[in-house]
Structure 1
Amino acid sequence: MTITDDFIAKSKYSDLGRYCVTAFVKSVADGLAPGSSLLDAGAGECAYKGLFRHCDYKAADMAIGDSTWNYDHLDYKAPLDNLPIPDASFDAVLCTQVLEHLQKPLECVKEMYRVLKPGGRLFLTVPMAQDEHQTPYDYFRYTSYGLKYLCTAAGFSEVSVVPMGGMFLRWAYELPRALRMFPKARNSGVSGIRLAGVFLYPLRVALGLVIPVCQAMLLFLDRFDTVRNDPWGWELTARK
């Protein structure tokens, strides 16, 4: 299966947010019994399909979020608020980093509820602090209370929302983004040197070495944030 953005391969320090999401998805996969039916709602390139080899995995997406992605592996190319799937079809629904891209989040969560079997589980992640991405399809950021509202309004019970780390983890996630502000030393696609990029290159290299050390320190400090109301994002589980 060919994909252009391998979520599972992302390292802890290069993309801490995605690393946390992947850890959550791995725990979901480990907890599902062999043969369980799973819908990956908003699956994109189906980057997590390999973790669910023991399940009956199906994927749905609008296939418009990222022009560089390969959407050929989808089972359903459809909006998540109008899935072409019969009622009570799946044991579990997985929805990672998708809800912020949906114009009708409540309608979409209701559809996830509809396609779940009675007793089925929803596993969902969203960011609370992240830059705009996959624009212009980026509409919302969620608090834990907003997530609980959406899921209870859709009919779910046993709704549990857990922060992905605390404030220090969020800072550790933000640090590598500083490198994006530096101009490249060479223009993309054309010949020619960018003087600003060349001049600042040593600083960029130095920061590239220092940032992982700072991230490690922040991740150590994260254990002392016991309030955890300012995380990078949230993990949610709920039951139909």
Structure 2
Amino acid sequence: MNLKKSIKKYFTKPTVKTTVGTLNEFTRVSWLEKVLKDIPKGNKILDAGAGEQPFKRFCDHLEYVSQDFAKYKPEELNSGLQMEKWDYGELDIVSDIASIPAENESFDAIMCTEVFEHIINPRDAIKEFSRLLKRDGYLIVTAPFCSLTHFAPYHFYTGFNKFFYEEELVKNGFYDIEIIPNGNYFEYLAQEINRLSQVAKQYSNVDINQKELENISQLKVLLQKLTDKDSNSSELLCFGFHVLARKK
């Protein structure tokens, strides 16, 4: 073996692969799939703020109804994080989420995923969900705890703490409330570090060089170690919360 290659083999640090900061969406979608598949066959579910209806695929055993206000157009405003294109498809109901044209107790389940931060008054939406749900009906909610500007101009809150759900759900007649954090403090930091190159280029017109990328990689290794040993740092910061509750 060439001496130079031999030295390099034994003194070059091995590349450590990390997943830290990359599992936000995967964890959320996996949780939604499980919860939706556990809803009894034939139940009627409202997808409130359905957007492009990405979770309709988990509702084949249910009577699925989609609702959205259908006003988001990414080409109208170049601010923050925007989708390149957006297609609502065929929505069953086009309305304000806090004023849905349906009778009281029309649904066995309601899901509302990554929508609350885009509603001027999410408290009104919870009240409306309570009206629309049958007794013992399921409410399924996900929303960020902290988020960057996205879907502008329809981005009104950066996120919601678990205390918001505890207060508002009980007030509006929900019980058996389960609130699960998605990610933790270290995961969230890693998520933003993972998009640092993109943001640096967009907002500072700076290309991060190879040495800087190596430093970032080492920081991610540290964050992976810390998240592996994490003990409830989600109370400080996390991606968001997954909420499951029943209507009294």
**Shorter-chain TM-score category?**
0.7 to 0.9
In the alignment, the residues of structure 1 paired with residue 61 and residue 226 of structure 2 have an alpha-carbon distance, to the nearest angstrom, of 37
Within 5 A, what are the aligned runs for 1:97-176? Answer: 97-140=114-157, 141-176=159-194
* Aligned partner letter, 1:82: S
- Where does residue 235 of structure 2 map in the other structure? 229
Q: Mind listing any 5+ residue stretches in structure 2 that lack a counterpart?
A: 1-18, 75-84
Shift of the 59–13 alpha-carbon distance from structure 1 to 2, 3 Å rule, reads farther
TM-score (norm 1): 0.78
Q: Map 1:1-240 onto structure 2 (within 5 A).
A: 16-67=23-74, 68-140=85-157, 141-183=159-201, 200=207, 203=210, 207=213, 218-219=223-224, 221-227=226-232, 228-230=234-236, 231-240=238-247
Write the distance in 1 (CA, Å) between the matches of 2:60 and 2:218: 36
Distance 1:210 1:56, change over 3 A: farther
Conserved? CA contact 1:37–1:90, under 8 Å: yes
Per the alignment, do residues 78 and 181 of structure 1 end up closer, same or farther by CA in structure 2, a change over 3 Å counting?
same
Summarize deviations over 1:45-77 as a string: whole Å, max 9, x none.
001111211111111111123433111221111
1:132-174: per-residue Cα shift (whole Å, max 9, x none)?
1111211122111012112122221222211112212212322
Query: Which has the larger Rg?
Result: 2
TM-score (norm 2): 0.76
Q: Which runs of 5+ in 1 are unaligned?
A: 1-11, 185-195
- Matches of 2:208 and 2:186, distance apart in 1: 28
CA distance in 1, matches of 2:37, 2:215: 35
- Change beyond 3 A, Cα 1:21–1:213: farther
Which structure is richer in relative contact order (CA contacts within 8 A, separation 6 or more)? 2
For residue 187 of structure 1, what is the aligned residue in structure 2? none
**Number of aligned positions between the proteins:** 214
Instruction: Give the whole-Å Cα distance in 2 for the aligned partners of 1:222 and 1:18.
Output: 17
Alpha-carbon distance between aligned partners in 2 of 1:146 and 1:14, rounded to the nearest angstrom: 25
* Kept in 1: contact 2:24–2:183 (CA 8 A): no
